[in-house]
Amino acid sequence: GAVVSQHPSRVICKSGTSVKIECRSLDFQATTMFWYRQFPKKSLMLMATSNEGSKATYEQGVEKDKFLINHASLTLSTLTVTSAHPEDSSFYICSASSLTGGEQYFGPGTRLTVT
Partner 1 sequence: QKEVEQDPGPLSVPEGAIVSLNCTYSNSAFQYFMWYRQYSRKGPELLMYTYSSGNKEDGRFTAQVDKSSKYISLFIRDSQPSDSATYLCAASPAGNNRKLIWGLGTSLAVNP
Asked if 53 and 31 count as a contact pair (C-beta separation under 8 A), the reply is: no
Q: Does residue 101 belong to the site contacting partner 1 (CB under 8 A)?
A: yes
Q: Does residue 103 belong to the site contacting partner 1 (CB under 8 A)?
A: yes
Among 1, 61, 65, 87, binds partner 1 (CB under 8 A): 1
- The alpha carbon dihedral of 87, 88, 89, 94 has a sign of positive
DSSP letter string over 37-97? EE-TT--EEEEEEEETTSPPEEPTT--TTTEEEEEEETTEEEEEE-S--GGG-EEEEEEEE
| Residue closer to partner 1 (CB basis): 9 or 18 | 9
| Residue closer to partner 1 (CB basis): 1 or 86 | 1
Task: List the x/- string, 25-54, binding to partner 1 by CB under 8 A.
Answer: -------x-x-------xxx-x--x-----
| Residue closer to partner 1 (CB basis): 81 or 93 | 93
Instruction: Indicate the SS3 state at residue 25.
Output: strand
| Residue closer to partner 1 (CB basis): 80 or 109 | 109
